[in-house]
Amino acid sequence: MRLVLVGPPGAGKGTQAEFIAAHLAVPKISTGDIFRSNVSQGTPLGVEAKRYMDAGELVPDEVTINMVRDRLAEPDASEGFLLDGFPRTTPQAAALDKLLADLGTALDVVLELVVDDDEVIRRLSGRRTCRGCGKIWHVEFDATTREGICDRCGAELFQRDDDKPETIATRLREYAEKTAPLVDYYGAQGKLVGIDATGPVEDVTVRAIDALRSYGG
Ligand code: AP5
Predicted TM-score (pTM) of this structure: 0.94
**Mean pLDDT confidence for 80-85:** 97
* Residue 148: pLDDT over 80: yes
Which pLDDT tens digit goes with each residue over 30-39?
999 999 999 9
For 48, 97, 118, 189, 210, the CA distances from 9, given in Å and listed in that order, are 21, 23, 12, 24, 23
> What are the structural domain ranges in the chain?
2-26+79-213
User: What is the C-alpha end-to-end distance of the chain, expressed in Å?
Assistant: 7
**Per-residue pLDDT, 193:** 97
Query: pLDDT tens-digit profile of 94-146?
Result: 999 999 999 899 999 999 999 999 999 999 999 999 999 999 999 999 999 99
Q: Which fold has domain 2-26+79-213?
A: Rossmann fold (3.40.50)
Residues labelled as active-site residues: 13, 88, 127, 160, 171
Helix, strand, coil distribution of the chain in percent, nearest 5: 50, 15, 35
Check pocket membership of 31 for ligand 1, CB cut-off 6 A: yes
> Quick check: 80 and 24 in contact, CB under 8 A?
yes
Look at residue 40 in the predicted model and tell me its pLDDT: 92
Q: Indicate if ligand 1 lies below 6 Å from the C-beta of 50.
A: no
Q: Is 8 in the pocket of ligand 1 (CB under 6 A)?
A: no
